[in-house]
Amino acid sequence: MISIVFSTIEEFAPQRNGLLTLMCSMCGSQRGMRLFVAVNEAVNNALFHANRDLPEACVELVAVDEGASLRISVRSEGDGFEHDLRADPGVFSDFLRESGRGVQIILHVVDEVSIEESGSIVTLRMGKDDSQRRNSSIPS
């Protein structure tokens, strides 16, 4: 298990390369990159929407190796954010629309998404490909 706590995008930024490496090593390069994109969207939602009115509030990112998949949870201390877990491909045709794209990107790129506590916890799962299942685990 890996746990990272931060309260700004600047605090999160130095962790990104290590997370990308971890995700690609565990899920394969394409699936790992897709998970990385989703994690960045979840982190942005936590920092800029859920914690919007709480500048000192923290976000916690936890990565857990579940054997056949990698689970990433992003938890914010704020009030969460409005969300809709129904896939809406039309959201991508309206680039002027400011709301809803992040969750839609997440829905389209990972294997499983759950959003709990009114958007305060976003959990993403990405299955490993067969070769990654045998050869990788999260370092202690």
In a domain, residue 140? The reply is: no
* pLDDT given at position 134: 47
pLDDT in tens, 79-117: 766 555 555 566 555 555 565 577 778 888 899 998 886
**Count: domains in the chain:** 1
What mean pLDDT is predicted for residues 55-82?
A: 89
**pTM for this one?**
0.81
In a domain, residue 44? The reply is: yes
As a whole number of angstroms, the distance between CA 77 and CA 110 comes to 24
* pLDDT given at position 102: 74
* pLDDT given at position 52: 80
Residue 32 sits in a domain of what CATH number? Answer: 3.30.565.10
- Specify the higher pLDDT residue, 128 or 54: 128
pLDDT in tens, 12-50: 999 999 999 999 999 999 999 999 999 999 999 888 887
* pLDDT given at position 45: 87
Alpha-carbon torsion 115, 69, 65, 108, what sign?
negative
CA distances from 63 to 8, 11, 116 (A): 19, 17, 17
Alpha-carbon torsion 113, 116, 120, 121, what sign?
negative
Full residue range of the structural domain in which residue 40 is found: 2-135
* pLDDT given at position 49: 80
In a domain, residue 23? The reply is: yes
* pLDDT given at position 50: 75
